[in-house]
Amino acid sequence: MLGMGKKERELDAAVKELATADTLAFGGVGIAGQILPATDAYRHVEQALRERPAEARKKVDWLLKHGSPAGKAYAAALLETVDRAAGRAAWERLRDDEAEFTTFTGCIMGRATLREYATERLAAE
């Protein structure tokens, strides 16, 4: 039982990190390939969705509603990994949101609105 408390605290900390994220990156960034704290948190929540789906799903649903723009994008991507229909619904919901965030793909930094990013994700299906 003590171990579950630790896992719950770790999940809460990861969701909190994603909720305030200002950058969306799924891998290492920059020349050094640095893993951002939000990317690490994303991976932690992704693992929790596999190990404790009911608990983690509630937190991802919360993140989709209350997170920063990057946090909402992370939430939609997480939903996509466990439930394609829920992921698509999340991206459709975000398609009307003009909030901006920073993106990183390797060494390439950019900016996007949730509208632009969601539209790209929906088109990629």
The strand pairing partners of 104, in sequence order, are 109
Q: What's residue 30's pLDDT?
A: 86
Compute the distance between CA of residue 85 and CA of residue 20 in angstroms, rounded to an integer. 26
Q: What's residue 4's pLDDT?
A: 61
Q: Are 74 and 42 in contact (CB under 8 A)?
A: yes
Give 10-residue mean pLDDT values along the chain (125 residues): 75 98 95 93 97 96 98 98 96 97 92 96 90
AA identity, residue 83:
D
The strand pairing partners of 106, in sequence order, are 29
Compute the distance between CA of residue 67 and CA of residue 7 in angstroms, rounded to an integer. 21
Nearest Cα to Cα of residue 4 among 56, 61, 40? 56
